[in-house]
Structure 1
Amino acid sequence: MVCVFANRDYGTLLKHWLATAARAGCHKPLVFCFDEETAQIAAEAGASSHTVPFNGDWLGFMRHQMQITRGILALGYAPLASDLDAIWLRDPIPYTIGHPQDMVFSPGTVQPSEAHAAWGNVLCFGYYLLRPTSAVLSMLDKCLPLMESAGDQPVFNRYLLAQGLNFAPTSLYALSFNGNDVLQSRETRLGAAGDLSVALLPNRLFQRLPEPDEPEPLVIHPITPKVEDTKIAHLKEIGLWFEDLVSVPEAVSELR
């Protein structure tokens, strides 16, 4: 179940994501709209949506998103969630769901720092799959209260670190980010924390940090500012904004 979460602050990004995801082969995403304006954008794009009203700060946005995710899991579905600035270039779904682990994450960079120190990378919440296992549901129940004061990525990384998450040995290479080495693998890193199994996808296919020599990434999720206009400007600068898909209504016709 592919899902995205959006409010009126990211309306143009939502239109762009729906169009690029459709071009990559994702024709039935579910949009969780936090206001009526966003629901209208989803409807105009022909996307399925649920309106789950929310009006608050960024931490509240993330809590609301994770509470919805908890509800999806409770119904027995496995949500594959994507940020709107995670650009789908090719269909990433088969590769992602081909991993049987409880949780499948794209790679991050260095936050939270204690997770990076332990694993050389972190679990990124810009693109992830959760499966409806009792262990995952229990983790969410323990982590949701902690999101009153911190976002999803620091809370869940710290929780899994405290639970002893370790990854199996594999060949690693480093990419530089702000003076830090961020360790990457050619193939998926596999780990476990108690009864939770974890997969950390390879950056070469799910690029948080650029790897220009990799010819066929599935998803590129560049590091961008939080404000929509500056996100769009950066995506244009690096060649990941496809204006023709946003401006031409037929670009999202396959969603219908």
Structure 2
Amino acid sequence: MSKKMSAFLHQRPLYSSSPESYDLSPRSRQDHQKTSSSAAFLSRGPALVLLLLSLLVILGVVFPYVQSPNSLIFFTSRSSDSKWRSYTLSEAAAYVAKNNSLIVCAVSEAYLSFLNNWLISIARQKHHDKVLVIAEDYATLFKVNERWPGHAVLVPPALEAAAAHKFGSQGFFNFTARRPQHLLQILELGYNVMYNDVDMVWLADPFPYFEGEHDVYFMDDMAYVKPLNHSHDLPPPGKKGRTYICSCLIYLRPTVGAKLLMNKWIEELKDQPWSRAKKANDQPAFNWALNKTAGQVDVYLLPQKAFPTGGLYFRNKTWARETEGMHVIIHNNYIIGFEKKTKRFRDYGLWLVDEYAIESPLGNL
């Protein structure tokens, strides 16, 4: 082998003389690699810096909502709540209406169990899809739409959740006084609308009873027994100079007469505000409106045998037995208080939520 070849084979490789390039410990080498990687990352240009800033902005927006391991659910819920706050009556009516008709109720949070009981009875008659719940507080709005999206709407302003619980209170008056405004707005949108209080139970389909083309259909709230073939005209005024028609069940067509009646009802409520001396509710004003528009509105009194008041159905066992099989909607009135109404429904086998909650579109609340 030549001296030149031998020198080449024994020559050490050439390395940089920089102290960073040799005699590094494993940890030093790792630190060196990290420094090099960071530099490479930043050297890729402004686009990556912009990406980092965007991520920081997104975290700044989302982070306030991240309050628990279920933060994604919480964030989705907040987004959904925001959607329902801006949901309008016209949007809700268009979504819910079937055959240009709606069934509506007005409910605050305390009445949710009664709402569910009422819905079970309607579901059994296959009419629940056209139900629109007018929520009077946000708790009700969010709860119903969480279980049954699109079937609840709040017409501002919202009432305080506990304001309308006690019959005869100013809160109760404020709650019920909004009813004709809701109904008028639905009529102006061109829909047929049936209003129910939720302390009612359907035993049969009421729609076949809305025969003819009358402006408004309603039930008598008097407890005395009428002939089975009684007149369907507006009854004569009673001792107080007005009729005693129930404002808790009304069916309206979008006619000039129906709108006239709702406007008159609104007027009468303004003329008869609540006071401590006169603890008004919406029903007397409704009756004054009926009496003052008599002859201008085509009205129809529903048959007592099918739509009895609670003062008759629950208190006259003889009548209830003689008309058994004819009843369509039972109203749990002539009694005050959640507990008393619930007990009465249970006593008569009409409190359905205990055993049949699964039949409600809201499920077991």
TM-score w.r.t. length of structure 2: 0.55
**Aligned-partner Cα distance in 2 for 1:157–1:120:** 6
Counterpart for residue 104 of structure 1: 217
Q: Is the aligned partner of 1:144 residue 2:269?
A: no
Q: Is the aligned partner of 1:17 residue 2:118?
A: yes
Question: What is the identity, as a one-letter code, of the residue corresponding to 2:159?
Answer: F
Question: What is the identity, as a one-letter code, of the residue corresponding to 1:51?
Answer: L
Counterpart for residue 49 of structure 1: 152
Question: What is the identity, as a one-letter code, of the residue corresponding to 1:252?
Answer: S
User: Please, which of 68, 73, 76 is the counterpart of residue 187 of structure 2?
Assistant: 73
Change (3 A) 1:120 1:240: farther
C-alpha displacement at 1:46, in angstroms? 2.5
Change (3 A) 1:142 1:229: same
Counterpart for residue 337 of structure 2: 227
Q: Whose strand proportion is higher, 1 or 2? A: 1
Work out whether residues 108 and 121 of structure 1, in 8 Å CA contact, stay in contact via their aligned partners in 2.
no
**Aligned-partner Cα distance in 1 for 2:141–2:148:** 11
Q: Secondary structure at the match of 1:105?
A: strand
Question: What is the identity, as a one-letter code, of the residue corresponding to 1:155?
Answer: A
Work out whether residues 86 and 126 of structure 1, in 8 Å CA contact, stay in contact via their aligned partners in 2.
no
User: Please, which of 246, 265, 287 is the counterpart of residue 124 of structure 1?
Assistant: 246
**Aligned-partner Cα distance in 2 for 1:120–1:7:** 30
**Aligned-partner Cα distance in 1 for 2:302–2:238:** 15
Q: Which runs of structure 2 are paired with 1:62-211 in the superposition (5 Å)?
A: 62-96=176-210, 98-109=211-222, 115-117=237-239, 122-148=244-270, 149=273, 150-163=280-293, 193-208=294-309, 209-210=312-313, 211=320
Counterpart for residue 40 of structure 2: none
Work out whether residues 34 and 54 of structure 1, in 8 Å CA contact, stay in contact via their aligned partners in 2.
yes
Counterpart for residue 169 of structure 1: none
Change (3 A) 1:129 1:59: same
Q: Secondary structure at the match of 1:231?
A: helix
Stretches of 4+ aligned residues off by more than 3 angstroms: 116-121
Can you list the C-alpha shifts for 1:113-144, whole angstroms capped at 9, x where unaligned? x8335999732112111122222222322321
Q: Which has the larger radius of gyration?
A: 2
Number of equivalences: 220
Change (3 A) 1:253 1:59: closer
Cα-Cα RMSD: 2.7
**Aligned-partner Cα distance in 2 for 1:117–1:73:** 32
Counterpart for residue 137 of structure 2: 35
Work out whether residues 184 and 262 of structure 2, in 8 Å CA contact, stay in contact via their aligned partners in 1.
yes
Counterpart for residue 62 of structure 2: none
Q: Secondary structure at the match of 1:195?
A: coil
Can you list the C-alpha shifts for 1:178-212, whole angstroms capped at 9, x where unaligned? xxxxxxxxxxxxxxx22211101111111212222
Q: Secondary structure at the match of 1:5?
A: strand
Change (3 A) 1:227 1:37: farther
Can you list the C-alpha shifts for 1:70-105, whole angstroms capped at 9, x where unaligned? 111111112100110111011112322x23211100
Change (3 A) 1:159 1:205: same
Change (3 A) 1:69 1:206: same
Change (3 A) 1:224 1:41: farther
TM-score w.r.t. length of structure 1: 0.76
**Aligned-partner Cα distance in 2 for 1:140–1:63:** 11
Change (3 A) 1:202 1:90: same
Counterpart for residue 174 of structure 1: none
